[in-house]
Amino acid sequence: MNPSLRVLIVDDHPLFREGLCSLLKRLAPQACLTQTSSIDDALTHAPDRFDLVLMDLHLPGTEGLDGLLRMKAHYESAAVVIISGDESPVTIRSAIQQGASGYIPKRTDVNVTIQALQLVLAHGVYLPPEAMLVRPADTPPPPSSPIEPLSERQRAVLRGLLQGKPNKVIAADLGLAEGTIKAHLWAVYQVLGVQNRAQAMYRAHELNLFGALGPERTTL
């Protein structure tokens, strides 16, 4: 684990923030931890200040996914993980679709939470079991060979999606226009038989695509 890991914790309950700090010290003893109780305070830091943001979903002064969207827009290079008492599969799917790198219910076991954060820091996306209870009704059965029809470029775009990156970050990583990324994503959705990011994420978990995609390539 990177000893210089920089983490921002955003929650309006001081005791819960302290609990997260203790957990993070187990994960990365030398991590630099910053706490705040509101989105407005969280956004006063420099955009490149943190590697990981852990935030409650329902904070004072925010509605729905507003807080997540603001944090994602400000901390584009950080992994943003929701830690919330809201366990609605619909809420979880919506958060992932809007770019969250993970969703951890607050009642999650400490060891599971550490494993979830390890997955996120390895550029994966964590989905809790609750998220899999309700599958989108319009999601068709998975194809028999989901990866084979994809080009190397499309696999790179899918890999970026599964890492929770927004389109413009994927575009910057690959040196492509954002419109080109959208076109590649449309092709990926067609191959996977899905209609959006959230469904693609669920399909990836169903088919274990994280391993099938292999490591990132430096050139494509």
Instruction: Say what the pTM is.
Output: 0.67
Q: Which helix (H) or strand (E) holds 121?
A: helix 110-121
Question: Residue 216: is its pLDDT beyond 80?
Answer: no
Q: Once rounded to an integer, what is the mean pLDDT over residues 90-107?
A: 88
Average pLDDT over residues 195-199: 79
Q: Using CB atoms within 10 A of its CB, is residue 178 exposed (0-12), middle (13-18) or buried (19+)? A: middle
Query: Residue 219: its pLDDT value, please?
Result: 38
Tokens of 48: 């490149």
Confirm if 97 and 125 have CB atoms less than 8 A apart: no
| Domain spanning 6-132, CATH class | alpha beta
Q: Which residue has the higher pLDDT, 205 or 34?
A: 34
Q: Are 62 and 39 in contact (CB under 8 A)?
A: yes
| pLDDT-based confidence at residue 218 (cuts at 50, 70, 90) | very low
Q: Please give the CATH architecture assigned to the domain spanning 152-212.
A: Orthogonal Bundle (1.10)
Q: Which letter, b or e, does each residue of 131-153 get, where b requires 16 or more Cβ atoms within 10 Å of its Cβ?
A: beeeebeebeeeeeebbeebeeb
> Which tens digits make up the pLDDT trace of 46-84?
999 999 999 999 898 888 899 999 999 999 989 999 999
pLDDT band, residue 212 (cuts 50/70/90): low
Q: What is the pLDDT of residue 105?
A: 93
| C-alpha 167, offset from chain centre | 13
Task: Using DSSP bridges, classify how beta strands 102-105 and 6-10 pair: parallel, antiparallel or unpaired.
Answer: unpaired
pLDDT at 43: 95
Q: What is the pLDDT of residue 164?
A: 78
Domain definitions of the chain by residue range: 6-132, 152-212
